[in-house]
Amino acid sequence: HLLWDELDAATRSAVDTITREQAAYTHSLGTGDDPASGDWTPNGLKGGYVGDTKLEEMGLYAQTLAPALAWAPDDRRYAEWATDYGTWSRNEGGLPPADLANPARVDGVPVSRNTAHNTYDTFIVENHGSFGPHYQEEM
pTM for this one? 0.91
pLDDT at 104: 97
> What is the pLDDT at residue 44?
95
d(CA 61, CA 41): 9
The conformation of residue 35, written as its DSSP 8-state character, comes to G
At 20 the pLDDT is 98
pLDDT in tens, the chain (139 residues): 689 899 999 999 999 999 999 999 999 999 999 999 988 899 999 999 999 999 999 999 999 999 999 999 999 999 999 999 999 999 999 999 999 999 999 999 999 999 999 999 998 999 989 987 887 777 6
The single-letter DSSP state of residue 124 is -
Give the start-to-end residue ranges of the domains of the chain: 4-32+43-138
**pLDDT the model gives residue 1:** 66
What's the confidence (pLDDT) of residue 30?
96
- Give the span between the Cα atoms of 46 and 91, in whole angstroms: 9
d(CA 17, CA 136): 33
138 and 127 Cβ atoms separated by less than 8 Å: no
β-pairing verdict for 130-131 and 126-127? antiparallel
- C-alpha separations of 137 from 1, 99, 106, 113, 124 in Å: 28, 19, 20, 23, 10
